[in-house]
């Protein structure tokens, strides 16, 4: 049985993790301990009552431990470090985006030891993370979802139970697959429009009033692709390649051919090859419509 929650741990204080941990500390009413290799976010979060602790200390003191890590390999490494110290009734919540197969293997292994597990990857932008308005997609048993839901609602405005362990990752990965494909399609429209006398700053606002409107058009398109500004410390080309590789891994396991997703991967890899790997992923426009 899970224990009452009075102390929560958080591992990984990067672009998304730092604001998520901050909201958790301010809104949960619980003691929050955190760990990151970089001391800078720990210093900033101390102002909100977050105390620094090492991973084994989190395992000893926290009923729930959340991760926000760069990829599945990092998640597996942290689980391996924590696992010898975890006790039945504790709960691990992975808000990173990780391989579905690896997520399900780790979840089954931990739950066999009495440790609860939920995959809860997050969607939307860095701005949404700073506002506490993320969409959080949860894969867990009904009882585990009920146990962690209030915690996740401190960081997200939409917390959805997608099914058992791994299903949160499925939904998040497919969401991102569509975003990357849509961004590439938008780049094609921008390229074709520009070559036919309609620049992007006119094309996209008008399309936003028609049936071609979308979240991607209004955010990735208008805010990044029209001004051709692709900041770092946003969702980069490298992160996009990582997430899309998980979708293609799922496709291979299911015996499905996804040619549109594979073409999008080619364009992302070309963007990385051209030196854009650390830039915001709408930089794929520079591959499709170089100026």
Residues designated catalytic: 172
Q: Residues 175, 244: contact at Cβ < 8 Å? A: no
Q: What 3-state DSSP class applies to 232?
A: coil
Question: Cα-Cα-Cα-Cα dihedral of 24, 27, 30, 31, to 10°?
Answer: 60
Helix (H) and strand (E) counts in the chain? 13, 9
122 - beta bridge partners? 136
Q: Which residues make Cβ contacts (< 8 Å) with residue 211, sequence separation at least 6?
A: none
Q: Are the C-beta atoms of residues 94 and 85 closer than 8 Å to each other?
A: no
**Spatial separation of the C-alpha atoms in residues 139 and 203, rounded to whole Å:** 39
Note the maximum CA span of the chain: 65
Q: Is the dihedral of CA 174, 253, 246, 283 positive or negative?
A: negative
Phi, psi of 186 (to 5 degrees): -65, -40
């Amino acid at each position: 049985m899970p224990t009452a929650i009075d102390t929560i741990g958080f591992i990984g204080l990067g672009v998304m993790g730092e604001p998520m941990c901050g909201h958790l500390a301010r809104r949960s009413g619980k003691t929050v301990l955190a760990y990151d290799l970089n001391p800078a976010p720990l210093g900033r979060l101390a102002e909100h009552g977050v105390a620094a602790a090492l991973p084994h200390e989190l395992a000893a003191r926290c009923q729930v431990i959340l991760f926000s890590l760069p990829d599945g390999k990092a998640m597996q490494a942290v689980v391996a470090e924590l696992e010898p110290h975890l006790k039945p009734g504790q709960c691990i919540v992975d808000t990173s985006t990780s391989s579905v197969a690896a997520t399900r293997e780790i979840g089954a292994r931990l739950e066999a030891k009495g440790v609860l597990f939920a995959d809860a990857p997050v969607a939307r932008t860095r701005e949404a993370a700073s506002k506490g308005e993320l969409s959080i997609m949860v894969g867990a048993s009904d009882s585990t979802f009920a146990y962690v839901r209030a915690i996740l609602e401190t960081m997200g405005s939409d917390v959805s139970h997608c099914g058992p362990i791994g299903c949160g990752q499925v939904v998040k990965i497919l969401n991102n697959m569509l975003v990357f494909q849509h961004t590439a399609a938008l780049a094609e429209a921008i390229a074709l429009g520009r070559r036919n006398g309609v620049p992007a700053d006119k094309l996209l606002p008008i399309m936003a009033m028609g049936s071609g409107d979308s979240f991607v058009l209004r955010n990735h398109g208008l805010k990044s692709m029209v001004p051709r500004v692709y900041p770092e410390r946003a969702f980069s080309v490298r992160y996009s390649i990582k997430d899309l590789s998980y979708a293609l891994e799922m496709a291979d396991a299911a015996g499905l051919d996804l040619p549109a997703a594979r073409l999008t991967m080619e364009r992302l890899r070309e963007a990385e090859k051209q030196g854009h790997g650390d830039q915001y992923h709408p930089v794929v426009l520079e591959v499709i419509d170089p100026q």
